Amino acid sequence: MKATTLRQGGWRYFPFLLPALLLSAAVVLVPGILTVLAALTDWDGVSAPVWNGFENFRDLAADFTFWRALFNNIQWGIIFLTVPIALALLVASLLRTRRRSYAVYQVIFLLPYVLSPIANASIWGNMIFDPISGVVGFLQRHGVPLVDPLGRVDSALYAVASVDIWHFWGYLTVVYFAAMRQVPADQLEAAYLEGAGPWQIFRYITLPNIAPTVALMFVLTTIFSFLTFDYVYLMTGGGPARATELLSTLAYGFAFRTFEVGKAAAVALCMSLFGLLAACAYTFMSRASLRR
């Protein structure tokens, strides 16, 4: 049966799609257009905006803080494209050996993900990393040579990233485990009969079957990396000395501290560009895999 097209009379179903299209336009298209326009103005968020063309982008290009935030964001993305994904793949592979208790493990792994960022940031910032009342302070008082991880320029970004990894890797584990459970059993049995080891089974059987899921998580992780705000804002606020400043916290500072909404919109567009590039890369990979 041929698919119904608009030319064949499918236009009759268009009214049913109209509410969804209008909703998408209202919450995605219109704000996007307004953000682009705001990026081309000098606006404090209250008075009438003044058109200034690409002046905001030129100012950002000459701003050391912007490049520092961009570099930190790239570091953050590299960390999250390696550590939590590798950890999740490893633990998901181990979960396949748990025939009865895997559901319990999945609940445990998801607990940090379902907790609010405020709770997670409070636990780690006040009870673990705090140099006075936390675990770090306790170990320091007992002779362990530890430093304040959130108070040092060279360690603050990695300390905050470790908290976000703790919150995020369990979610990836559950997603990868669900994908691994869809691997055809006959392929696994054939590999076992041929004497393949665990690494060979993962490399030549499991990984090719879950490759679409891995690729999708790569794209989503890249997008999430450039949208990260909550843990950095809650734990360090971008400090110390801009060591944890990301594009999202920089945009927040422009909008709500210095009231430069035009610059904040310009930073937001830069953030969106990286998400768009990741989405285009995923689309290209998906089409390439379908042509094989």
- How many angstroms separate the CA atoms of 243 and 158, rounded? 10
Considering the entire predicted model, what is its pTM? Answer: 0.88
Residue 171, CA distances (Å) to 6, 112, 164, 235, 281 in order:
40, 9, 12, 22, 23
Question: For residue 28, what is the DSSP state?
Answer: I
3-state secondary structure of 267: helix
Partner residues linked to 42 by β-bridges: 50
Return all residues near 45 (Cβ < 8 A) that are at least 6 apart: 255, 259, 261
- How many angstroms separate the CA atoms of 52 and 38, rounded? 10
Partner residues linked to 41 by β-bridges: 51
Return all residues near 232 (Cβ < 8 A) that are at least 6 apart: 160, 238, 244, 245, 246, 248, 249
Q: Which domains are delineated in the chain?
A: 34-291 (1.10.3720.10)
The secondary element (H helix, E strand) that includes residue 50 is strand 50-51
The secondary element (H helix, E strand) that includes residue 85 is helix 83-95
Structure confidence at residue 276 (pLDDT): 86
* pLDDT tens digit at each of 292 positions of the chain: 455 455 555 677 778 888 888 888 888 888 899 999 999 999 998 899 999 999 999 999 999 999 999 999 999 999 999 999 999 999 999 998 888 888 899 999 999 999 999 999 999 999 999 988 899 999 988 888 888 899 999 999 999 999 999 999 999 999 999 999 999 989 988 988 888 888 899 999 999 999 989 988 998 999 899 989 999 999 999 999 999 999 999 999 999 999 999 999 999 999 999 888 888 887 887 776 666 6
- How many angstroms separate the CA atoms of 53 and 51, rounded? 6
Task: Please answer whether residues 205 and 96 qualify as being in contact, where contact means their C-beta atoms are separated by less than 8 angstroms.
Answer: no
